[in-house]
Structure 1
Amino acid sequence: MSSLENQIESLMLNNRRMTDGFSYTVPSGSSYPYQWFWDSCFHAIILSHIDTKAAMAEIQSLISHQFDNGMMAHVIFWDQQKEIFNVDWGLKKTSNIIQPPIIAYATERVYEKCGDRPFLESVFPALVNYYNFLLEERDLRKVNLIGYVNPDESGEDNSPRFDNALLLPPQHEVEDNLNKRYALFETHKKCNLDTRCTSETFWIEDVPGNVFLIWNLESLSRIATELNDRQLAKKYLSKAKQVAASMRVNMFENGYFHPLSGLKAVKTTENTWSRFAPLLTKQYTPAEAKALVKDELLNRERFWLPYGVSTVAQNGPAFSPEEPIWGQAWQHPHWRGPIWMTVHWFLYQGLKNYGYYDIANEVREKSLALVKNEGFREYYHPITGIGMGANDFTWGAMVIDMN
């Protein structure tokens, strides 16, 4: 085992918790001491390389708090701490919103490593119920696109993609952004978690969110095939194709896919990493992908910065790569320019889909250098390479899956 693998194993072990008989991993012991949904999906993938039993446990702990309607919340508060993220969600032990739906892909990756069929059989019904919930409850316009009722559901809390919907200018105080998002928590609670009710205040059909849905419906279809359920395998593969077709019809314009804001589905134009997300599911033609990589990704005035790929175009009005001064790390996860390791991981896979192996390897090497030089930080400055945000943050360990 390499030195880096040893460091990753130590990080994951130090961040592992056991509560009520369930094992799970927190993103950062000091700043994020709970179980976050898509973080745990990343954790399962990381752990599949070093401890398959822990990887399976990560998935099992997530589904342990599934709602009756199939929803899985974005946070499970196994051990609530008054000082961190103490919000009245109107629920016990969980938040009242979702996060990007990547649990089917994570489960598939874990199964590939462990080959434990009873594990796959045990979690499959929960996966089916979860994706049925998304397809039925989060497709308000009935156009085969799911939406979010809060920016936090995207996992990119203060991304500029949500500025217009929050009525915020490109440059604003991080506290103002947080207050508006927290107000939406309260709105969703007052709406009794009714999506249509909350959508009157905030609704975004996001590009990465629907890309992740396609990606995971394909995984769910393959899992169903593995479990000899041909009917469900066919259903979810068909649904993935319907979502992809709808994205092309409703979101694509001038060479890119754009988020849709509100129930009137107005295209938003903020230039963030999200336009690269469809590389993951091969939704660009080869010619479109070539132009995207050349004009956007490798453009040193936009995304291709000294230490990696920024989350926001450098020449855009919202670019702000410095860590916010206000608040604690958990109050300002910053998606307005810094490098986030999972974005590098998504890019790495998407670029390989189109044969851009050399560029993918550059992304990998930049990722490894950041972890080597700055350690496991929440995010990194794209121009100086300085690590920022939470310490001992697990996402840096995703480099173990860039191979």
Structure 2
Amino acid sequence: MLSDEELKTGVREVLYKNMISERKAGFNYHFTKPSPGTYPFQYFWDTCFHVFMLSAFGEEKMAKEHLRSLFAMQRPDGFVGHMNYWKRLWPARVTDLLQLRPRDVLRLYKPHMSALVQPPIVAQAVLRVYRDSKDEAFLTEMLPKLKKFYRWLAENRDFEGEGLLSIISPFESGMDWKASYDPLLRFDRGKAGPLLFWKVLQVDAHNFLKGYNLRRIYESNKFIVKDAALNTIYAQNLEAMADLCRLAGDEDGPGFMDQARQTEQSILRHMYDERDAVFYDLYGHQFKKLRVRTGTIFFPVVLKSVPEEVCRQVLERHLLQKDGFHVPYPVPSLAIDEPAFNPDGSLYIWRGPTWVVFNWFMQGYLLEKGYRQEAQELLLSVKRLITQSGFREYYNPFTGEGHGAEEFTWSGLVVDMINRQQEGEDGT
């Protein structure tokens, strides 16, 4: 198995190889492509992951430039899209084209954003940079932008006022083709194929034809989903916003903390299923549960308002005893006994393979709660995967074979995992 230093060297090489810094149409942009050929644009939560990696290397200056680039095209109302098209302007896929507002299609010749969002993990990324750099000027620069962004989310995606954000496309969760959306898409064939592609395409076409008018989209109720992972990240980042406000001496901190607690309570009230000990995604105006056990059923256990007993039940039943998730290389993106489970490479991702981001997300919580051995096992799994198959988009959870994009940066989260594990063992 590769040593920690060898892994860090490999991550650094991939990051720098995929990094781009230029000026175009009056914008200075600096970002890292998740994978040069497959994912050449600046993506929202990918950028935040890159910030965590750069911070792990002590590259705070570069991390700041990534965040500035991410917010360079922020709209006056606060919106930031899930993709920034900088150097390569034409979308790579028809689905990308449909993720633009109709009027933005006419602007393809110059930098523009998509009309969709992604998991809003950026407040935690900014907080990480500030804690490492203690750069008050950067905090002062970014905080107003962040406040506008999170207020846009609350005003435009919390349709019911319950503190839960809705996504309007499967691509907004960051987990394309996630199997829990199948019932809503009326796809009942288990293993994905061309029919699922067209059903997802219809969702984006529906949004495009409505001009991405969010109220009209909500009223149509075609695809309104409250994703457990996205809303967990939202709650965490509202709390991070409260911390940032406190550090900046800004009076809005308590308001963001109140929002975080409301979101946490709504997640517990609406998503948790006591019988199954699972946090399910929800759909529609009535918050109906999408009863498919994806790798995100664990995510809300990290939230402070979730009772310890609930956390214990979820972890012991599914993650620690690995009911449906027992594989040599955890954590699979879908329980192995679900009809849609496919561990191999496919266009239809997030339906079985292991992604490093799940291990990264859960490791931090396990360390915080004293599950050091379990956290170490998640880290060792990632180390073995990279040693065997390199920096790939995702991996077969049984064999460790790498699939999808090559030189994929997400696997670089292993450097943050290594640092966290060491800090946990040192008691810092």
Q: Work out whether the TM-score is over 0.5.
A: yes
Task: Measure how far apart 1:296 and its partner are.
Answer: 0.9
Give the distance between the partners of 1:83 and 1:95, measured in 2 at CA. Answer: 10
State whether residues 353 and 397 of structure 2, in contact with CA within 8 Å, keep that contact through their aligned partners in structure 1: yes
Partner of 1:221: 242
- Residues 1:36 and 2:43 aligned together: yes
Measured in 1, the distance between the counterparts of 2:394 and 2:350 equals: 9
Report 1:72-221 matches (<5 A). 72-80=80-88, 82=90, 84-85=92-93, 87-88=97-98, 89=100, 90=102, 91=104, 92=107, 93-199=112-218, 200=220, 201-221=222-242
When residues 175 and 82 of structure 1 are mapped into structure 2, their CA distance, relative to the original with a 3 A threshold, is farther
| Superposed displacement of residue 164, structure 1 | 1.2
Check conservation: 2:29, 2:86, Cα contact below 8 A.
no
Q: Are 2:291 and 1:248 equivalent residues in the alignment?
A: no
Secondary structure in 2 matching 1:84 = coil
SS in 1 for 2:403: strand
Q: When the two structures are superposed, what TM-score results if normalisation uses the length of structure 1?
A: 0.94
- Tell me the distance in 2 between the aligned counterparts of 1:45 and 1:272: 25
Asked whether the 8 Å contact 1:204–1:260 carries over to 2, the reply is yes
DSSP 3-state at the match of 2:252: helix
Structure 1 residue 267 and structure 2 residue 286: aligned?
no
Distance 2:215 2:188 in 1: 26
The TM-score normalised by the length of structure 2 is 0.88
Aligned length: 395
Gaps of 5+ in 1: 325-331
CA apart distance, 1:127: 0.4
What CA distance in whole angstroms lies between the structure 1 residues aligned with 2:303 and 2:387? 30
Q: Is 2:71 the counterpart of 1:71?
A: no
Unaligned segments of structure 2, at least 5 residues: 421-428
CA contact (8 A) 2:280 2:293 kept: no
1:260-307 CA distances to partner (integer Å, 9 max, x unpaired)? 111121111101111110122245432322222222113455113101
For 1:63 and 1:333, the matched residues in 2 are separated by: 30
1:14 aligned to 2:17? yes
Q: Deviations over 1:171-203 (max 9, x none)?
A: 243433333333322322222222222232210
1:217 maps to a residue whose letter is L
- Equivalent residue, structure 2, for 1:329: none
For residues 199-348 of structure 1, what are the structure 2 equivalents within 5 Å? Answer: 199=218, 200=220, 201-229=222-250, 231-254=251-274, 255-300=277-322, 302-324=324-346, 332=347, 334-348=349-363
Change (3 A) 1:290 1:83: closer
The change in CA–CA distance for 1:72 and 1:81 in structure 2 (over 3 A counts) is: closer
Give the Cα separation in 1 of the matches to 2:217 and 2:354: 31
Closer/same/farther in 2, CA of residues 2 and 117 from structure 1, 3 Å limit: same
Distance in structure 1 (CA, Å) of the matches to 2:281 and 2:380: 30
Q: Secondary structure at the match of 1:17?
A: strand
Contact 2:48 2:122 survives alignment (8 Å): yes
1: CA distance, partners of 2:22 / 2:171 = 25
Shift of 1:346: 0.7
Instruction: Say if 1:283 and 1:362 are closer, same or farther in 2 by CA, change over 3 A.
Output: farther
What is the Cα-based RMSD across aligned positions, in Å?
1.7
Checking the alignment, whether the CA contact within 8 Å between 1:279 and 1:347 is kept in structure 2 is: no
Q: Does 1:2 align with 2:5?
A: yes
The code of the aligned residue for 2:228 comes to: V
Q: Distance in 2 between matches of 1:292 and 1:371?
A: 28
- Alpha-carbon distance in 1 for matches of 2:394, 2:305: 28
Q: Per the alignment, in what secondary structure is the counterpart of residue 286 of structure 2?
A: coil
Task: Write the letter of the residue equivalent to 2:279.
Answer: F
Higher mean displacement: 304-313 or 335-344: 304-313
Distance in 2, Cα, partners of 1:188 & 1:5: 42
Q: Percent identity?
A: 29
